[in-house]
């Protein structure tokens, strides 16, 4: 689940599909797009893994100033899929 941190006075909206399906052992893109309002800029995208009854676990942080950081044990399996501005905060989950 992405957490977007927009700056600005008005709020845009986060667009994510209700569900994403992938075959066992296949790569899958987890899309996330922020439809910014005027004067807004996405400064960071944080992806969290949530399980039933579990505390959310940070998977990846995308930040244009500080780069991309992927937590263990997701290192090597999670890559940024989008390019350019963070309004496209999609990630690729490998295998």
Helical residues (DSSP H) of 1-95, grouped into ranges: none
CATH superfamily for domain 22-93: Immunoglobulins (2.60.40.10)
pLDDT tens digits for range 43-75: 999 999 988 888 999 999 999 889 899 999 899
Residues 6+ apart with CB under 8 A from 19: none
Burial class (CB in 10 A: 0-12, 13-18, 19+), 86: buried
Cα distance between residue 37 and residue 66, in whole Å? 24
The pTM of the full predicted model, rounded to 2 decimals, is: 0.79
- Tell me the mean pLDDT in the region 10-18: 85
Domain coordinates in residue numbering, the chain:
22-93
> Residue 15: what are its φ and ψ, rounded to 5°?
-115, 115
Mean pLDDT across the chain, nearest whole number? 87
Cα distance between residue 20 and residue 27, in whole Å? 11
Confidence of residue 4 (pLDDT cuts 50, 70, 90): very low
């Amino acid at each position: 689940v992405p957490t977007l941190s927009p700056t600005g006075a008005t709020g845009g909206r986060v667009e994510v599909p209700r569900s994403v399906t992938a075959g066992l052992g296949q790569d899958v893109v987890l899309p996330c797009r922020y439809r910014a309002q005027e004067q807004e800029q996405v400064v960071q995208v944080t992806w969290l893994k949530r399980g039933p009854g579990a505390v959310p676990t940070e998977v990846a942080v995308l930040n244009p100033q500080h780069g991309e950081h992927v937590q263990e044990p997701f290192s090597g399996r999670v890559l940024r899929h989008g390019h350019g501005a963070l309004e496209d905060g999609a990630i690729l989950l490998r295998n």
